[in-house]
Structure 1
């Protein structure tokens, strides 16, 4: 999707405290990991709770083109994917794999392609072509795959031919993207002698790597170890299974943040205290800012009295970096400054999630400063309406939507970008403010 800047979205102002119970989509991060594991298993797997949106659709399309059919059915509003795994056998190329705007899909499919004979051309939309993938391409080359850049090394388009044959050890930086680490981990059980991956820098977003390990183990992969600067995965293969995908904690941050921004209480169903996802910790961040949080086995509730103001915090968000835009928006409503640290690497996400985020919030009159490793948000008396650009980034769009609950005249350009992860987001946000009798 290229985006349409002529289309704008407005959000209904909240005229009082919000009281809502929200169901968020299944986790696309978990679903895409499970799809790769199921594809590499030998036999039929069932993934209950396929995430809606472009990322999952792109993954399903790529697997189908590689000879791994995914039969998707819907029941009671929940999508289930029946995957016919091939044990690592991929159709011979030439095959073109379009990953659209999906970062996880592009990285996971690039690694998957290294298991087959090729050639496989992996490409995506223009914003995805700009995102760096050099460490992953370098690592696949070190594993014996043939990696041929279409234009610039370390970017899409790229042509991959395998099969990768393994290596004694490979090294990549850990502070650029955990998706590189995950991509290699996912194919490691089918690589001769497995994977020994050294990290030259500290691992960012480690909770996502822990999710990868958990999903892999659910599909029968064994002997997976994640240390400070070292990841090892044994050659073991995968077994077909039935896997239930939990609600997406990153998506849950938006309705939970609505309770913080406006005041009131929001419950997210299905996301409980035993969640695999590091982003589930966001409710605790809101608690630090003055909200009341209740988390049980099957739900999370965030509450704030409107006469109890939010206060700013100083926080390292390296392990929950996708939620920086959400927290930045909440911080504009706090009475004291907020400092977000440890997230310099998010400049190379779908957008520059520091510079672009700050530039758009400045249009509203927010006092926000970009630092080398994060942001500082100072309180301001009043925010004014403006038209905000989303920079092809679903997380910016959904975060900006929260401010529409409390800022009159706010318009969000290219609102359809939310289809990447939550196609019905605007309807869900519209249902949060209470209706007048």
Structure 2
């Protein structure tokens, strides 16, 4: 059995940073993720005047319940979706003029449902370029609250941003959601808001958040379940056993359900209170499967990348939202599988992969960390798989390649 320590959850770290910044008192975060995305979030908070002290495994954040400490700021959100969506929402609760821009990659990603909801709540918000995208300017004067409708069919982050804003409004907030993808991420948000003292509830697709205040907390961030999918998949296709500590049956993250997909395919899964262990079949052959991954779509590329090693077709459904991530992930997966000489077909929201022995190829990462990491797992079984942009993994898992090298040596896999 091989034990792999996975870095802290990106999703939980981002939410914890928002909550800490908005809380009364000083919050201590234990084992937060340090990556390009979270570094960008921290940089953005500092630009807005928040005080943060960082050690390797421990960050302290001085909360400001009334908003940013400055009245004028330009924030560059880099490639970070949570940074680009959460920080403008946090700033809207303050007082001043705040401008937000992002990388070319992030400028292409949708923002419109969130910014329209903020406008509906009375926020003075202007898109400076293409409507519904960065850059934006917010002339903030607090948010009264009330009722707002939201379409979260492209990203649950739109709903999370508004939920996080709720306690900072004067009158509280009621959100009626027309469509919602990746609901487990919203469940993370609700649990963390309650941990920081908020009163929030929902009845179906109607979410109600009371006006009030967040209270500082001492918060341990669990390992990233999306990141864990790569090492779990590695064990599944090589017949090895891997354990990820800190991710067990009490974990907040829905992407841990990926282990259940591997179990459907024939891997052995042991989920304890505080760890998950996956053992691949001795012959390396997984079963074909049809799976709806709407709620765990960040792990779609991981499944697509190991699908050729199944003994039947692997069909992944209801993942349209992966087309508006760092790249069009459905097309990127299809492109790379074709380059690997694997038969594949795609539709608007699905991909189907046939069993095949992949050939060596140069993977087109499209600047997307999840494409790079997923097809690196394919390379554990296929000599000569290389990446055109290996450095893009720093977005969420800076030590990914070192971890893969360790697994190769430990499991005696050829490079």
**TM-score bracket for this pair, using the shorter chain length:** over 0.9
Rate the CA distance shift 1:260–1:435 in 2: closer, same or farther, 3 A: closer
In structure 2, what is the equivalent of residue 246 of structure 1? Answer: 222
Specify the alignment match of 1:268 in structure 2.
Answer: 244
* In the alignment, structure 1 residue 30 sits paired with structure 2 residue 12: yes
After TM superposition, the score normalised by the length of structure 1 is: 0.92
Aligned to 2:386: 411
Consecutive unaligned residues of structure 1, counting only runs of 5 or more, are 1-18
Pair 1:121 & 2:99 matched? yes
Q: Aligned partners of 2:74 and 2:363: how far apart in 1?
A: 35
- Which residue does 1:69 correspond to in 2? 51
The answer for the alignment partner of 2:187 in structure 1 is 210
Query: 1:1-150, aligned counterparts within 5 Å?
Result: 19-74=1-56, 79-150=57-128
1:231 Cα offset (Å): 1.4
> Following superposition of structure 1 onto structure 2, how do residues 335-350 of structure 1 map, counting pairs within 5 Å?
335-350=311-326
Cα distance in 2 for partners of 1:158, 1:308 equals 50
Aligned length: 412
In the TM superposition, what is the alpha-carbon distance from 1:305 to its structure 2 partner? 2.8
Cα separation, 2, equivalents of 1:409 and 1:204: 36
Aligned to 1:426: 401
Cα distance in 2 for partners of 1:176, 1:113 equals 23
User: Could you tell which deviates more after superposition, 388-397 or 87-96?
Assistant: 87-96
Distance in 2, matches of 1:288 and 1:210, equals 24
What is the distance in 2 between the residues matched to 1:322 and 1:343?
Answer: 9
Q: Which has the higher helix share?
A: 2
Partner of 1:13: none
The aligned runs of 1:213-224 (5 Å cut-off) are: 213-222=190-199, 224=200
Mapped contact 1:32–1:56 kept (Cα < 8 A)? yes
Q: Give the counterpart of 2:161 among 167, 178, 183.
A: 183
Tell me, in whole angstroms, the C-alpha distance in 1 between the residues paired with 2:144 and 2:175: 11
After TM superposition, give the deviation of residue 91 of structure 1 in Å: 2.9
Assess if the C-alpha contact under 8 Å between 1:49 and 1:244 holds in 2: yes
User: Structure 1 residues 281 and 435 mapped into 2: Cα distance closer, same or farther (>3 Å)?
Assistant: closer
**Rounded Cα–Cα distance in structure 1 between residues aligned with 2:329 and 2:207:** 28
Conserved 8 A contact 1:39-1:88? no
Distance 2:62 2:119 in 1: 28
Give the 3-state SS of the residue equivalent to 1:169 in structure 2: strand
Contact 2:72–2:98 (CA under 8 A) maintained in structure 1: yes
Superposition RMSD on alpha carbons, in Å? 1.4
What is the CA distance between 1:306 and its match in structure 2? 2.4
Which of 306, 325, 346 does residue 370 from structure 1 map onto? 346
Q: Give the TM-score normalised by structure 2.
A: 0.97
Structure 2 gap ranges (5+): none
C-alpha distance after superposition, 1:217-270 (max 9, x if no partner):
111111x12333211111121011111101111110000000112111111122
Q: Displacement of 1:273 after TM fit? A: 1.3
2-side partners of 1:308 and 1:99: how far apart? 42
- Alpha-carbon shift at residue 393 of structure 1 (Å): 0.8
**Structure 2 CA distance for aligned equivalents of residues 205 and 35 of structure 1:** 21
Asked if structure 2 preserves the Cα contact closer than 8 Å seen for 1:390 and 1:412, the reply is yes
Residues 92 and 119 in structure 1, CA contact (< 8 A), matched pair in contact too: no
For residue 300 of structure 1, give the secondary structure of its aligned residue in structure 2: strand
Quick check: 1:26–1:49 contact (8 Å CA) kept in 2?
Answer: yes
Which of the residues 368, 372, 376 maps onto 1:397? 372
Matched-pair contact (CA < 8 Å) for 1:131–1:348:
yes
In structure 2, what is the Cα distance between the partners aligned to 1:231 and 1:161? 26
Give the CA deviation at 1:407. 0.8
